[in-house]
Amino acid sequence: MLPTAIFAQLGWIYFWYAVPVAAAISLVYAATRHEEIHLIFRHAFGCATWIVGLMAVVGVVMAVVSAWL
């Protein structure tokens, strides 16, 4: 299977719907841990990076697996 076909299956446009949700979840989670605003934003950025990165990795793995099924 060609790599372009694998990436075509992912539907990257739907990935952008998850970014604001991940940002909101990260902000709320960070606000429950910290009280200072700069710590909230720093923790939220790290948490959002983990969430979006994990979703991207899982999406690529699922696309590769489904290409061979």
Task: Report whether pLDDT(4) > 80.
Answer: no
In the chain, the amino acid numbered 42 is: R
- Using one digit for the tens of pLDDT, what is the confidence trace for 24-52? 999 999 999 999 999 999 999 999 999 98
By the 8 A CB rule, do 55 and 15 touch?
yes
Closest CA to 33 of 46, 22, 51: 46
What DSSP string describes 11-66? Answer: -HHHHHHHHHHHHHHHHHHHHHH-SSHHHHHHHHHHHHHHHHHHHHHHHHHHHHHH
Q: Report the amino acid identity of residue 30.
A: A
